[in-house]
Every structure is written in C-alpha cells, then in structure tokens.
Amino acid sequence: MSLRRYLLAATILAAPGAAFAQSSPWYSPMSWMPTAAPQAVEGLYLGAGVGWNHSDARGLTSQGAAANYFNNRGRNNQGNLGFEEGGIGVLSLGYGFGNGFRTEIEGNYRYNDVDRLGGFQGPGAGVGFSSIAGSLQQYGVMANLFYDFQLPQWFPQMPFYFVPYVGGGVGYMWTNLNAKGRQNDTRDYVYVDDGTGQFAWQGIAGMSFPITSVPGLAITAEYRYTGVLQSKFDGTVTSGATGAVAPGKFEVDQGNNHSALIGIRYAFNQPVPPAPTPVVAPAPAAAPAPARTYLVFFDFDRADLTDRARQIIAEAAQNAGRVQTTRIEVAGHADRAGTPQYNQRLSQRRADAVAAELVRLGVNRSEITVQAFGESRPLVPTADGVREPQNRRVEIVLR
C-alpha cells in the first residue's frame, strides 16, 4: 500500500476531529456536541457507514487445463491482480450493555475495479497484458464485538467530547471476481469470472461523536482491516493463435482490505434530557447561607469525605449541641454525569457517609433523617451528562 493511500485513509479518519478541535481564541464549542462524558450505549442501536476501500494486490495461480496451457508453452502458470481504489458500505444492528461493551451483526459491501493483470510469462515472453477490465465485489456478514472507552478525568479539556472504540469480528464473505486481459505478445486471453464464499475476519478502530440535541445519535469515523482466506475461481485461457479454450481454476491469494468510513449510529431508548429549569436572575450580592444549613461537597464520582468536608460536618455537630435542635436532616445529591439510577445510589452513599461522621462526633443517630435525591434537585441546573461540582453535595439542615 503506497504512502499516498495511507495518507488518504488518515485524512478521512481525522477529518471529523479536525473540523471541531479548534483551539484558537475565537473558537466557541458547538452546542450540539457534548462537553462531558455521554452515557454508554445501552440497548438496541442501528448503524450505517460509507467510505473508501483499498484492496491489496493478490497472486493468481492457474490450475488444471489452464495451467497446462501455460506450462506446455514454457510459461509460468502464476500471475497477479491489482485493483483501483473503491468504496464500501456498511449496515449494522447492535446491542449495547451500558458498560462500554457492544455487540452487533453487520452486513457490508465492497467494490473495486480491476486495473492490473500480469504474470503468466516465461523466456521470450512479451511485456504484460492490455485490454484489462473487470471488478471485485465482496458481500459480507460479520459478528462484531466493540468496547467504548470513557476518557479519564485527567484527559485534556476540549470543546467537545468523543468516544474512542476498538473492536473485531468474524464472519463470512462472498467474493465475486471478474477479471480479463489479453497478453501483448501472444494475444492469449485470460478470463476469470466466478464467485465463492470464505471465512473472513476484521479489526476495527474508531471514534464516535455524540450529538447532544438528539439523545442516542452519534457520528462515527473508523478504520477497518478485513481479511478473507485464499479462494479458487473458475476461468479460462483462450489461445490467441487458434482460439482454443483451456478451462481451469485460478487460485487467488488471501485478500486484505483497508477501509476508512464515516457513519451514523442511533441508539434507541436513550434517556431524554429534561426541559431546562428556569433560572432566576441572581441578586446583585449573594445572600449569606442560612446559619443552620451546611453544604458538604464531594469529588467527582466519590463518596469519601475530604478534610474540608470533615471540618464542615464538625461545625454542624457542634452547633447541633449548642442550639435547640429537634432533628437533623441530611440530604445527598449528585450531578448529571452518569445514569439517574447510578446517581441515586451515589447520593445515598454520600448522605450515609455524612450521617456516619455526625454520629462519630457524638450526634444521636435517632435525631438524624437521611434522604437521597440523586440528580433530581441540582443546585446549578445543567444539561444531562455535565459534571457540576456544586451539585455533588450533601446538605445538613438543623431544625
């Protein structure tokens, strides 16, 4: 594969990211792309993609009467085939497990024109073939397994979010080969026209770009390396001198394809972000927090207490002993990065951690009421999937 072809594949794959990842001062993030981790695909989804396909050159070995025709004339019974750049189309039906893993069934189609037919020469032979024509068409059905990576917290901040993924698959590919050409010196005509099916496999690497405005919708860009086992095709050699026909088989070496695709994926039944909560314009100066209300904040996706959190809880415990308190309300909350179910459990763990610290500091457990609200009561309203530090909190209210 030439350097030009590698660069073409890299350009096609890099185009979506390059179009969005502008870092100049005047750039503003596109509102339809998320800036925080989207929810992992869960449930059924449909996918489709189109793109460029490069099919490697392959050896071609004649067998039977066709091989005897060349051998009896002192010629080599081996040739080769080459192909022009072509195209690929893919349709898939898959299922996501909500933990990064996805599996799918894929149907694919590839097309490349034949642009080279050579070989089958010997001592005194001419210089190749002319009148070359034909095509290579491949239809495949594959079972694939993918894993979507969630970028870690330390990953550099960007104006949009993307999900890299890797995968692989196995299946069956039907190859329809039509290739013909005329040897320049003898005018012998080589013609291969047949179809056959073989085991196939592929490796895949790509990125998806979720669309915030349409939950479940994502643009995809990926590279595929696909291989198929050695195959045999029916063909003939026609004598340029007598017109006699020598039928036989032509064994084609293992074929590999390099593909770059741009596609679209839609996952059904993804959670729909609620309508934005109206935000009241803040007062010119922020009002001081109520004397008997305390806010304890947490790190992202954590329920353990920081040193600052322990200081605030200690202050609440001391004031609970100084004033006439009938009950202490402890309410846990979470931001909207993650599923509602996960955030509900996370806010419960946070509330339990604060209540346990109050008890350790001498507060009677019977005086404490513990509640968990998940992401349903944000201090700062945000879109789904956004990490907001002020929403990762526990509120302690002394009544």
Residue 283 — very low, low, confident or very high, per pLDDT cuts 50/70/90? low
List, in order of start, the domains of the chain with CATH numbers. Answer: 3-267 (2.40.160.20), 293-398 (3.30.1330.60)
Give the mean pLDDT of 102-110.
97
Instruction: Give percent above pLDDT 70 in the chain.
Output: 81
Mean pLDDT, range 222-232, rounded to an integer: 95
Contacts of 237 (CB under 8 A, 6+ apart): 62, 65, 66, 69, 70, 188, 189, 190, 191, 245, 246, 248
Q: What is the pLDDT of residue 7?
A: 47
Any residues with CB less than 8 A from the CB of 231 and at least 6 apart, and which? 175, 196, 198, 251, 252, 255
User: How far apart, in whole angstroms, are the C-alpha atoms of residue 58 and residue 83?
Assistant: 9
C-beta contacts of 77-80 below 8 A and 24+ residues apart: 77/120, 78/119, 78/120, 79/117, 79/118, 79/119, 79/120, 79/190, 80/116, 80/117, 80/118, 80/119
When the pLDDT of each residue in the chain is averaged and rounded to a whole number, the result is: 85
pLDDT tens per residue, range 113-134: 999 998 888 776 556 889 999 9
State how far the alpha carbon of 16 is from the alpha carbons of 54, 69, 77, 132, 262, in Å.
21, 53, 47, 37, 9
**Which of residues 317 and 27 earns the better pLDDT score?**
317
pLDDT digits (tens, 9 = 90+) for 34-73: 545 567 899 999 999 999 999 999 999 999 999 999 888 8
Residue 287 has pLDDT above 60, yes or no: no
For residue range 139-189, list pLDDT tens digits in order: 999 999 999 998 765 455 555 678 999 999 999 999 999 999 998 888 889
Is 302 a residue whose pLDDT tops 80?
yes
Res 23: pLDDT: 39
Could you give the angle at the alpha carbon of 116 between the alpha carbons of 111 and 120, nearest 5°?
A: 130
377-383 mean pLDDT: 90
Q: In the predicted model, is pLDDT for residue 245 greater than 90?
A: yes
- CA pair distance 107, 92, nearest whole angstrom: 6
pLDDT at residue 201 is higher than 50: yes
Of the chain, the percentage scoring pLDDT greater than 90 comes to 59
Q: Give the CA angle between residues 109, 113, 116 to the nearest 5°.
A: 140
pLDDT at 128: 84
The torsion defined by the Cα of 19, 24, 25 and 28, in degrees rounded to 10, comes to 10
| pTM for this entry | 0.61
* CA–CA gap between residue 179 and residue 340 (Å, rounded): 58
Q: Are 309 and 296 in contact (CB under 8 A)?
A: yes
pLDDT at 124: 61
Q: And the tokens for 285?
A: 């100066």
pLDDT of residue 208: 94
For position 326, what pLDDT does the model report? 72
> Can you spell out the DSSP letters for 279-337?
-PPPPSSPPPPPTTEEEEE--TT--SPPHHHHHHHHHHHHHHHHS--S-EEEEE---SS
Q: Where are the alpha helices (DSSP H) in 102-182?
A: none
Task: Give residue 18's pLDDT band: very low, low, confident or very high (50, 70, 90).
Answer: very low
Q: Residue 284 pLDDT more than 70?
A: no
Q: What's residue 186's pLDDT?
A: 81
When mean pLDDT is compared across 20-29, 39-48, 177-186, 362-371, the lowest value belongs to: 20-29
In one letter, which amino acid is 177?
Answer: L
pLDDT value of residue 322: 78
- Torsion of the alpha carbons at 341, 342, 344 and 347, rounded to the nearest 10: 180
pLDDT in tens, 308-354: 999 999 998 888 877 767 789 999 999 998 899 999 999 999 999 99
What is d(CA 125, CA 182) in angstroms, rounded to the nearest whole number? 13
CA dihedral 228, 234, 239, 242 (to 10 degrees): 180
Contact between 245 and 237 under an 8 Å Cβ cutoff? The reply is: yes
Q: Determine which helix (DSSP H) or strand (DSSP E) holds 258, and give its type and residue range.
A: strand 255-267
